[in-house]
């Protein structure tokens, strides 16, 4: 079963890698607008399966936890798309995939779990590879720093989602979990837009890109993580997107001409090696 879960995570990684590039096709939309429609659309799809696939009713005591997770998921996407608008895609995806740093700290010091040495080593190799990717490109001027910090904050918020998701998914199906998770995320974002006065409208040509964000990085990408968190530790699941900066950078180069240099190749090899070591030592 674990091998199947790992394979699902790999497929999900390819889907997640389109999360930033697709948002570049709607530059006139605010980060909150993009995040809302991504979550609302995904929730709508998940709820549309209700008449065709009966799910065990969600335990009422799970709703508060999912509500909190949905709130942090909404914050994750708002911060991530804000970062995409401020820094290169490689930067945004790099700093947005550092959730394992936060989850491993929680597992070690909060849950008192003793992680295998090989898993920790693989994690830090993957982190090192991700940093190598941007070693020549990071620019800590005011705008760049703010964008990098926004992406890092999105990692922190995602780590909370993964930790809470592990608790709920232990006894809840992926469909029952994600339909509520995405709905609460959309509601949270909508409330923030009301407070800030941010509009949620979009033009008809933008619809295809928003639909793409619903299908590729959400239904395929994030659903793979929500599925896997029932079977693997949140640190392991959170480490899967480490490959996202590599693939997203390649996509950005192909679509927008954002340069991909030797550091991506070197850092990508290091990151993939770290992921392999982490996966082999995941138990």
**Per residue in 97-155, pLDDT tens?**
888 778 877 877 777 777 788 878 888 888 888 778 666 555 555 567 788 889 989 99
3-state SS record for 131-161? HHHCCCCCCCCHHHHHHHHHHHHHHHHHHHH
**What's this model's pTM, rounded to 2 decimal places?**
0.86
pLDDT top residue among 96 and 232? 96
Minimum mean pLDDT range among 17-21, 54-58, 103-107, 168-172:
54-58
In tens, the pLDDT along 162-194 reads: 889 888 887 888 888 999 999 999 999 999 999
Q: Which range scores top for mean pLDDT: 51-55, 269-273, 276-280?
A: 269-273
Residue ranges covered by each domain of the chain: 2-49+57-280
pLDDT at 25 over 90: yes
pLDDT value of position 135: 65
Q: What is the mean pLDDT of the chain?
A: 85
pLDDT at 260 over 70: no
DSSP conformational letter for 201: -
227 backbone dihedrals φ, ψ, rounded to 5°: -70, -45
Tell me if 91 sits within 8 A of 44, measured CB to CB.
no
């Amino acid at each position: 079963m674990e091998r199947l879960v790992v394979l699902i995570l790999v497929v999900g990684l390819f889907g997640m890698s389109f999360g930033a590039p697709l948002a570049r096709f709607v530059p006139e939309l605010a980060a909150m607008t993009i995040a809302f429609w991504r979550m609302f659309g995904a929730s709508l799809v998940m709820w549309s399966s209700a008449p065709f696939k009966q799910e065990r009713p969600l335990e009422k005591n799970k709703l508060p936890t999912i509500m909190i997770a949905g709130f942090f998921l909404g914050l994750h996407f708002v911060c991530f798309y804000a970062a995409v608008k401020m820094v290169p895609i490689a930067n945004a995806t790099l700093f947005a995939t550092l959730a394992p740093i936060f989850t491993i700290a929680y597992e070690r010091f909060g849950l008192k779990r003793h992680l295998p040495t090989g898993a920790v080593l693989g994690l830090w190799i993957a982190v090192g590879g991700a940093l190598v990717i941007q070693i020549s490109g990071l620019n800590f001027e005011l705008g760049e720093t703010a964008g990098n910090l926004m992406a890092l904050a999105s990692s922190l918020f995602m780590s909370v989602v993964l930790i809470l998701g592990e608790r709920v998914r232990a006894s809840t199906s992926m469909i029952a979990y994600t339909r509520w998770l995405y709905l609460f995320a959309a509601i949270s974002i909508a409330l923030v837009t009301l407070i800030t006065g941010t509009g949620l409208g979009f033009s008809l040509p933008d619809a295809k890109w928003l639909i793409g964000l619903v299908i590729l990085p959400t239904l395929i990408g994030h659903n793979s993580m929500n599925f896997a968190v029932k079977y693997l530790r949140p640190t392991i699941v959170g480490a899967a997107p480490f490959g996202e900066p590599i693939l997203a950078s390649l996509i950005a180069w192909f679509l927008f001409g954002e340069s991909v240099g030797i550091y991506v190749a070197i850092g990508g090899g290091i990151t993939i090696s770290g992921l392999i070591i982490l996966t082999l030592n995941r138990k």
